[in-house]
Amino acid sequence: MEFNIQRSKTPGHLKLFYPPTDVFQMLHIDFWGPIRPLAQGNRYVLVLMDNLSKCVIGKAMPNNTAKAAVGFIVNKFIMIHGAFERLIMDMANILTIR
């Protein structure tokens, strides 16, 4: 029988951040999938969301690699909208440096 029962959650690894003051200043990124393969063989969707405007940009992709994510961010976001200041993601193994 355990008597030292934990009565609250242990503190997590969350970090506070200040809200953005401009559109496309802070972005959230995540992969959605795997889903049933589409006609082109795409099984994942890369989702990029702006924190201020809640604008969502998504792209179907055949794989969920960091190389595919970086290619999408550079070619389809930075070249069109410009550079962002912060990129927020869950700590998925795919998007973290090993």
How far, in Å, CA of 6 to CA of 4, rounded?
Answer: 6
Residue pLDDT, tens place only, 25-64:
999 999 998 999 888 999 999 999 999 999 999 999 999 8
Q: Are 61 and 72 in contact (CB under 8 A)?
A: yes
Q: Which domains does the chain have, with CATH numbers?
A: 26-89 (3.30.420.10)
pLDDT band at 18 (very low <50, low <70, confident <90, very high): confident
Pick from 4, 55, 1, 60: which is nearest to 25 by CA?
Answer: 55
Q: 59, 72 in Cβ contact below 8 A? A: yes
Which pTM does this prediction carry?
A: 0.74
User: Tokens standing for 92?
Assistant: 């998925």
